[in-house]
């Protein structure tokens, strides 16, 4: 069942314990932060509006209230321009607000979640799968039927079991 954007947005402020995200794409450049991405590509500094975006506030509010926000990104090297932006600017920025990141690098291992779409899991009971088009254009989201959360949580667990903490991965693979 499709979920309305405003209902999806409420999940980020109403979850009680944890929100987990699986990211699977190399490019989300058509889903937001376009100005910041263009600045990154042009070698310019981060725009102030990017540094203090609404997402940063959402993350900070949640983590300061003791709620966990974390994600795993499945990727392989060499990194796309967009991934260099997302990891180098976005992840580093969001870590400062308390979000945790993990990398499942499939450069030298098989992707254990091949074909699994991006999703968010809230409090291990509400799961929202996400649909994307070209260049990561967000097309909408669908809430998983009640009682089906467990299969998505197994995917989360698989991702976490194969991933390494972002700071550790970034120290080894950060582009020069």
Overall average pLDDT of the 6-20 stretch = 97
CB count in 10 Å sphere of residue 80: 15
For residue 44, CA distances in Å to 24, 35, 40, 98, 150 come to 27, 11, 6, 25, 44
- Residue 101 pLDDT more than 90? yes
pLDDT value, residue 51:
87
Tens-place pLDDT, residues 106-163: 999 999 999 999 999 999 999 999 999 988 899 999 999 988 999 999 999 999 999 9
- Residue 87 pLDDT more than 90? yes
Spatial neighbors of 78 by CB under 8 A, at least 6 apart, are none
Spatial neighbors of 121 by CB under 8 A, at least 6 apart, are 19, 20, 127, 149, 152, 153, 156
Overall average pLDDT of the 18-30 stretch = 96
Q: Where are the domains of the chain?
A: 5-173
Tens-place pLDDT, residues 35-70: 999 999 999 999 988 888 999 999 999 999 999 999
CATH number given to 5-173: 3.30.870.10
Q: What does the radius of gyration of the chain's CA atoms come to, in whole angstroms?
A: 16
SS3 129: strand
- Residue 34 pLDDT more than 90? no
- Residue 95 pLDDT more than 90? yes
Task: Give the global pTM.
Answer: 0.95
pLDDT value, residue 176:
77
Q: Is 133 left (phi over 0), alpha (psi -120 to 50) or beta?
A: beta
16 confidence band (pLDDT: 50, 70, 90): very high
**Which residue reads 């020069």 in tokens?**
176
Q: Is 116 left (phi over 0), alpha (psi -120 to 50) or beta?
A: beta
């Amino acid at each position: 069942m499709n979920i309305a954007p405003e209902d999806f947005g409420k999940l980020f402020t109403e979850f009680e314990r944890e929100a987990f995200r699986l990211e699977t794409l190399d490019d989300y450049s058509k889903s937001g932060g376009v100005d910041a991405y263009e600045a990154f590509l042009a070698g310019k500094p981060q725009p102030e509006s990017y540094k203090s975006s609404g997402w940063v506030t959402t993350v900070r509010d949640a983590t300061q209230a003791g709620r966990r926000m974390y994600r795993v990104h499945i990727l392989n090297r060499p990194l796309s321009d967009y991934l260099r932006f997302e990891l180098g600017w976005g992840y580093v920025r969001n870590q400062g607000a308390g979000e945790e990141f993990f990398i499942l690098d499939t450069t030298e291992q098989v992707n254990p979640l091949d074909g699994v779409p991006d999703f968010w899991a809230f409090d291990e009971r509400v799961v929202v799968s996400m649909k994307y088009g070209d260049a990561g254009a967000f097309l909408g989201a669908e809430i998983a039927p009640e009682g089906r959360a467990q299969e998505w949580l197994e995917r989360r667990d698989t991702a976490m079991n194969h991933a390494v903490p972002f700071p550790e991965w970034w120290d080894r693979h950060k582009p020069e």
